[in-house]
Amino acid sequence: MKDALINNTPAKTILVIGELLADLISENNIESLAFASNFIINQGGSPANLSANLKWLGNHTELVSCVGEDGLGDYLINEMEMAGLSPKYLQRIPKHQTSIVLVGKSTGTPDFIAYRHADMHIGRIDDQLIESSALLHTTAFALSKEPAKSHILEAFAKAYRSGKYVSIDWNYSPAIWNDDNGREVFDQICGFKPLLKISMDDMERFLGRNLTVQESINALNGLNALVICLTCGKDGVWYKTKNGPWTHKPALTVPSVVNVTGAGDAFWAGFLSHFIQEKPIEKCIDHALSIARKKIESAGTLYKTEHIAKI
């Protein structure tokens, strides 16, 4: 695969593989789920959120995911169709319940508990679907359990060999990976020269200790990634291309913080949306920060706000 940031792949489909699940978000801002009382059901799952955001931004996007044959599965597929996504690759698993995550509404990093069932059962990805896509994306969450892990890694390997871009949101959490530190899978993904998004919270969970931004940058140096974005919440983002220096962009001012849940998915949708259009990396970052700000200012999902063709 070329190290250049842009290849000549004619297709512009972004293929997203990973969890579609129900987020049960607390009605009020809380520091811990121990203080939760009432919950509101929302469509959730980082890949599903990303797909909906990408579609909202005008990108040809396909989502591969699994839900149960139950009412929550019906609700989630309907939500994806409302976002403009095709249900073609949203598989129903009869013997497994739709996965849910309890989330504490927060202006910071939210507390959460995942109850996983159907989302882990993503099957083998169709070769033609991979071939027709310009970029494949997944998450650490999706890669944490079999059989989804093996099928996603197989798809990424095929995409890489075919000269496609691959993207990973390394949203690592020890609560999801249990006794597996994720290092072997992370190294395997980095072998595909990915577009890597990772937050400071992700870095600390992944390495198991408190870190400064500089310590995180030092840990990320030397990775075989095409682009690395280290997101730092209200402090913006540090980013670099494979052979370039680290550069900082501050976060955009947000007059009213409504809800930070989903801001990372909005950021990455903004980035990938411009990247697939062959925009300079700095412009990709600017667009990412703009979309993240819009999400932070919004109570709900972006695709239920007014449509925008250009930001």
CATH of residue 111's domain is: 3.40.1190.20
Least confident of 80-89, 269-278, 295-304: 295-304
Q: 262-285: per-residue pLDDT in tens?
A: 899 999 999 999 999 999 999 999
Q: Does 189 reside within a domain?
A: yes
pLDDT per residue as tens digits for the range 87-111: 999 999 999 999 999 988 777 777 8
User: What residue numbers bound the domain in which 43 lies?
Assistant: 13-302
Determine, yes or no, domain membership for 201.
Answer: yes
Structural domains of the chain, count: 1
- Residue 45: what pLDDT? 95
Q: Quote the CA–CA distance of 200 and 213 in Å, as a whole number.
A: 7
In a domain, 1, yes or no: no
In a domain, 308, yes or no: no
90: β partners: 65
β 195-199/165-169 pair status: parallel
- Does residue 6 form part of some domain? no
Of 217, 222, 218, nearest to 235 (Cα)?
217
Confidence check: pLDDT of 7 > 70? no
DSSP SS3 for 41: strand
Asked if residue 307 is part of any domain, the answer here is no
- Taking a C-beta distance cutoff of 8 angstroms, is the pair 6, 144 a contact? no
Residue 241 placed within a domain: yes
Judged on CB neighbours under 10 Å (0-12, 13-18, 19+), 1 is middle
Least confident range from 19-33, 77-91, 159-173, 270-284: namely: 19-33
Helix (H, G, I), strand (E, B) or coil at 111: coil
Helix ranges restricted to H, 100-199: 127-131, 148-161, 174-177, 183-190
Whether residue 3 lies inside any domain: the answer is: no
